């Protein structure tokens, strides 16, 4: 069994479901790994993409990592990962970690299809079934500022989340003046009115002083959490914010290695009894890198329930389900056609399950399936 072909294309994506709203030039990489294994009369192909927010990784994938993977031909995800990482020095992660994570996603999709299992079942077999439920707690993520009619459109978007069955949601702050952001939070809280059902994500936009001012202004809003407040490597700034904000803080999304996770834990002032860890499995060199982070922080006293991986797509859902994590993000309408659950699937009692078909189940999202197949 071998990988016989690797293809990549960098495609535009948008934070908005409405194509009329400018997308800001964001991209992601889509990849297809064709194997020589035949299942149900067809060659098994594994699909992956670069998760969201860090742009496409076409150069690194095409010039560096895909050739190593094809030369090794390794179909086992852990052996394929080792082949991609051969000769790479520790540190200086840049975004090569995203390029590796993109191909890693496709390796797992192929491996689960070859095993004829949904990915979460394969992962339980490989990494120990902890007996946790298949369905995981989720929240609907979105709420990016609209260039026009922001409050009305924000409220509509959150109503749709609520009416679809989401019990928790997250909206963005940090790009508008603080009073306007506070107003956005109030608008969102009219729909997600239960305490601790609404989170806000500042997308690492604040300078240290503004981060503390914002945290203090949000203290009484009974938020589920306050996410990504300052520069991800400004651990001193993070710890100052944490000291000024008693409710839950969420951090870790833009950190990509176990060594960085350890620094956040050591210097960020985070509290094991309430704070949330957002590391994105795709951005952290894929599942092998993500497992290193989980194991490192578990050994330092963190519970798996603190991990709510960033992503908002089916791969993160499988990982959260299999590893028994606290929950995960879902992008019901942002980043089409990559985000959300299987077509026509909705959460039940605030939880969602990965598709039951073999692999990650991207084939259960018609528009995404079409896009992936266009690579072949
Ligand atoms: Mg974030």
Distance 203 CA to ligand 1 centre (A): 5
Q: Is the pLDDT of residue 23 over 90?
A: no
pLDDT at 144 over 90: yes
Q: How far is the CA of 284 from the centre of ligand 1 (A)?
A: 15
Q: Could you tell me the distance, in angstroms and rounded to a whole number, from the CA of residue 55 to the centre of ligand 1?
A: 15
Q: Which pLDDT value is given to residue 24? A: 84
Q: Which residues share a beta bridge with 35?
A: 3
d(CA 201, CA 203): 6
Taking the domain 126-364, which CATH number applies?
Answer: 3.20.20.120
Q: How far away, in angstroms, is 294 Cα from ligand 1 center?
A: 18
172, 283, 313, 318: the catalytic one is 172
Query: How would residue 22 be classed by pLDDT, with cut points 50, 70 and 90?
Result: confident
How much is the pLDDT for 29? 98
Domains of the chain by residue range: 3-116, 126-364
Please indicate whether residue 310 is annotated as part of the active site.
yes
Catalytic residue among 93, 113, 170, 310: 310
Same fold across 3-116 and 126-364: no
Q: How far away, in angstroms, is 225 Cα from ligand 1 center?
A: 11
Write out pLDDT tens, residues 276-297.
999 999 999 999 999 999 999 9
Task: Give 80 Cα–ligand 1 centroid separation in angstroms.
Answer: 29
Residue 7 is predicted with a pLDDT of 98
The string of pLDDT tens digits covering residues 297-327 is 999 999 999 999 999 999 999 999 999 999 9
Question: What is the distance, to the nearest Å, from the Cα of residue 87 to the centroid of all Cα atoms in its chain?
Answer: 27
Told to judge if 172 belongs to the known catalytic residues of this protein, a careful annotator would answer yes
Count of Cβ atoms closer than 10 Å to residue 348 Cβ: 10
Using the mean position of ligand 1's atoms as its centre, give its distance from the Cα of residue 326 in Å. Answer: 16
Spelled out in words, what is the top-level CATH class assigned to the domain 3-116? alpha beta
For the segment 363-375, the average pLDDT, to the nearest whole number, is 98
Mean pLDDT of 228-240: 97
Query: Is the Cα dihedral 124, 127, 133, 135 positive or negative?
Result: negative
CA 371 to centroid of ligand 1, rounded, Å: 26
Backbone phi and psi for residue 265, each to the nearest 5 degrees, phi listed first: -65, -40
Q: What is the mean pLDDT of the chain?
A: 97
More confident residue, 20 or 249: 249
Average pLDDT of span 38-43: 94
Q: In sequence order, what are the beta bridge partners of 170?
A: 141, 199
By DSSP bridging, strand 3-12 and strand 27-39 are antiparallel
pLDDT-derived band at 100, boundaries 50, 70, 90: very high
Strand pairing of 226-227 and 249-251? parallel
pLDDT tens digits for range 45-85: 999 999 999 999 999 999 999 999 999 999 999 999 999 99
Calpha distance 77→175 (Å, rounded): 39
Q: Distance, CA 201 to ligand 1 centroid (Å)?
A: 5
Report phi then psi at 307, rounded to 5.
Answer: -85, 120
Residue 22 C-beta-side C-alpha neighbours within 13 Å: 4
């Amino acid at each position: 069994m071998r990988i016989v072909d690797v293809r990549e294309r960098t495609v535009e994506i948008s934070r908005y479901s409405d194509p009329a709203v400018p997308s800001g030039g964001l991209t992601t990489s889509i990849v297809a790994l064709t194997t020589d294994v035949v299942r149900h009369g067809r060659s098994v192909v594994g699909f992956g993409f670069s998760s969201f927010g860090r742009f496409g990784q076409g150069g690194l994938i095409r010039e560096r990592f895909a050739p190593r993977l094809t030369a090794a031909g390794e179909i086992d995800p852990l052996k394929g990962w080792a082949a991609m990482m051969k000769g790479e020095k520790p540190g200086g992660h840049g975004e090569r970690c995203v390029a590796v994570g993109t191909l890693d996603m496709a390796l797992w999709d192929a491996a689960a299809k070859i095993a004829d299992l949904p990915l979460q079942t394969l992962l339980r077999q490989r990494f120990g079934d902890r007996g946790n439920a298949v369905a995981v707690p989720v929240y609907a993520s979105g709420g990016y500022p609209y260039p026009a009619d922001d409050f009305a459109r924000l409220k509509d978007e959150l109503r749709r989340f609520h009416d679809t069955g989401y019990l928790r949601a997250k909206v963005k702050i940090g790009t508008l003046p603080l009073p306007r952001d506070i107003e956005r939070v109030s608008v969102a809280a009219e729909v997600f009115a239960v305490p601790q059902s609404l989170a806000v994500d500042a997308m690492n936009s604040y300078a240290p002083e503004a981060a503390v001012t914002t945290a203090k202004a949000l203290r009484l809003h009974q938020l589920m959490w306050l996410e990504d407040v300052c520069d991800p490597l400004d651990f001193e700034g993070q710890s100052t914010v944490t000291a000024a904000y008693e409710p839950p803080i969420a951090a870790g999304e833009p950190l990509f290695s176990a060594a960085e996770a350890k620094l956040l834990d050591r210097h960020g002032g985070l509290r094991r009894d309430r704070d949330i860890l957002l590391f994105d499995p795709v951005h952290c060199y894929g599942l092998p890198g993500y497992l290193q982070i989980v194991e490192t922080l578990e050994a330092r006293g963190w519970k798996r329930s603190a991990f709510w991986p960033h992503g908002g797509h089916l791969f993160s859902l499988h990982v959260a389900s299999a590893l028994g994590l606290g929950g995960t993000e879902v992008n019901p309408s942002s980043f089409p056609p990559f985000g959300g659950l299987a077509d026509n699937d909705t959460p039940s009692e605030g939880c969602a399950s990965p598709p039951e078909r073999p692999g990650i189940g991207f084939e259960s999202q018609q528009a995404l399936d079409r896009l992936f197949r266009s690579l072949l």
